[in-house]
A and B are shown apart, each in its own frame.
Chain A
């Protein structure tokens, strides 16, 4: 009996933390989403959809496009690190690709702002190389800027997982394919990728959820309309003190990420069975 008491006592701090800092606030904001002027209703949601439905689509498209690109880049980098034949290039790539992981999102936003603007670093270089005239330059500080920032920041993280999984594959499964005449691209797509698909999926879903919750990048790069839901939530609270709509928007983005989380959960259940 005493042992059981001790066990509960040991779990209690963790339990209190979860209830106090996770369950209660979540519950409060879910309830808050349905509160309109002291009564319960769907008012916040109709208002959210009236004002921000284009932002919802904008958010979903940006995050989805970024996720796809991150997947492509991380598989390419991981594939080169696994199947490459130039040891020097592989060592350089292995050393380089991780750096963006250690740079915070706000700094990424800042860097991209100075780099991608109409008279930013990228266009200056292109003009000085004679590839563009100053009149032809275009700024990328719209949805493209956000996608570039997300992909730049998140690719290393997914690559880290993917390259790790590829490195721990049985090398002879790759050699067996080479022995039968498969090209490196075919080996990557038909032999390597299927074997690490679960890891890639986990990396992409975690990235998806992370990107859904980033506020600094859309604020730095694309503060005009349409923008991402995170910026809208911040705006509702800071400019209007409108917690109701902010909570409703929060719940909507939670549902969007829940879709991704569901895929993740089904995947991990399938793996365990």
Chain B
């Protein structure tokens, strides 16, 4: 997926009043690429999108599309169309008028407009609804009208600001795929802002994870999922279980010191940038395996084994979820078969599912 950079955001800084939202941010997006900006609310992802669209003025930096500088251009000169979170349909106009408004502004002939509007309605499954007002449509239909209005002007870049957050959970799942396949069919470059991890994973070629106005990590869905570069990314990508340990790094090996619930474990460094000292371990509930305490099968090389007690069991569907108590900590572990509450169990976490980071407060010097 190496391609030429089509949209280039360079050293951009944006702030409202005295607060800085984005500082010195760089981002490059290839032609035809679908990029998801993922982050929790307030991380600056919407501000970045609005800056690209031209609704927020950067205090420094530049934005280029296909080599031309658009930083100071009006929103409509950038070849971009934005789909708003609230859809922002004009309630006094019909579906056809909403979709055709951009073309009307371009002074296209009536025949042209009608043909394009009909094409959009066909494309989006809105045929026969042209004379309805937005108030008479369902949420999913409104969403598609908003999409049609944006696509009707043939933008080079489609910007999507949490377009699915106002839809029912079930419709959201199908609309995800609709938007993705539409984007692929049209070969359009798309930037999608979302706080939903799964949505970003399913839709995007590349995920850009943002935190506090900075890009924490970017890469393909499987890369950010399996190789999180920071504790924040690991937690955001679902590795919510957190344990603190001491580690010693020697060459290509990491030794996790013996603790109250685990024996000393040696695991491969696998290219991690890690220093000896206090570390935090993160892993996903579904990545760990739960076995009975008297299971004596040898553990895989590099896997971490913990011993704890089942505090509670629940069934969220497909598997049993156990809260396992380790002293004052509690971790969540999934298992196909349930274990009884109060039972002593072993938790095995394979080496590749362990995310190890230096504890940010006190990065101890190497021994």
Contacts and interface: CB of A to CB of B under 8 A. Distances in A.
Interface of A: 170, 172-173, 175-182, 186, 191, 194-195
A178 B75 contact: yes
Given A179-B53, A186-B105, A172 B88 contact: yes
Contacts of A180: 76, 81, 101-102, 105, 149, 153
Contacts of B89: 173, 176
A176 B145 CA distance: 13
A259 to B, nearest CB: 26
A191 B90 CA distance: 7
Interface size class of B (residues with CB under 8 A): 20 to 34
B263 interface: no
A176 B149 contact: yes
B86 interface: yes
Interface string B88-107: 11111000000001100110
Contacts, number: 56
A195 B76 contact: no
B35 interface: no
B85 interface: yes
Interface in B50-70: 53, 55
Interface in B97-141: 101-102, 105-106
A68 B170 CA distance: 50
B84 interface: yes
Interface string B235-274: 0000000000000000000000000000000000000000
B82 interface: yes
A47 B367 CA distance: 112
Contact of B91 (A175, A181, A195): A195
A173 B88 contact: yes
A195 B75 CA distance: 23
A16 B36 CA distance: 68
Contact of B82 (A170, A176, A186): A176
Contacts of B75: 175, 178-179
Contact of B102 (A181, A191, A194, A195): A181
Contact of B84 (A172, A182, A195): A172
Q: Which 9 A-B pairs have the closest CB atoms?
A: A181-B76, A172-B88, A180-B102, A194-B92, A176-B88, A172-B84, A181-B105, A173-B88, A179-B75
A176 B105 contact: no
Contacts of B149: 176, 180
B92 A170 contact: no
A175 B82 contact: yes
B113 to A, nearest CB: 13
Contacts of A178: 55, 74-76
Given A176-B149, A194-B92, A195-B91, A182 B105 contact: yes
A178 B81 CA distance: 10
Given A181-B76, A181-B105, A181-B106, A176 B92 contact: no
A175 B84 contact: yes
A176 B149 CA distance: 9
Contact of A173 (B80, B90, B106): B90
13 contacts: A175-B82, A175-B84, A175-B88, A176-B89, A177-B90, A178-B55, A178-B74, A179-B55, A180-B105, A180-B149, A181-B76, A182-B105, A195-B91
Contacts of A191: 90
Contacts of A177: 90, 101
Nearest to A183: B105
Interface string B216-244: 00000000000000000000000000000
Contacts of B84: 172, 175-176
Given A177-B90, A178-B76, A195-B91, 20 more contacts: A170-B86, A170-B88, A172-B84, A173-B89, A173-B90, A175-B82, A176-B149, A177-B101, A178-B55, A178-B74, A178-B75, A179-B53, A179-B55, A179-B76, A180-B81, A180-B105, A180-B149, A181-B74, A181-B76, A182-B101
A180 B92 CA distance: 17
A57 B202 CA distance: 70
A180 B53 CA distance: 11
B88 A195 contact: no
A191 B102 CA distance: 13
A179 B77 CA distance: 9
Contacts of A181: 74, 76-77, 102, 105-106
A179 B105 contact: no
Contacts of B105: 180-182, 186
Nearest to B105: A181
Nearest to B77: A181
A140 to B, nearest CB: 39
Nearest to A193: B92
Contacts of A170: 86, 88
Given A170-B88, A173-B88, A179 B106 contact: no
A173 B89 CA distance: 6
A207 B88 CA distance: 32
Contact of B81 (A172, A173, A179, A182): A179
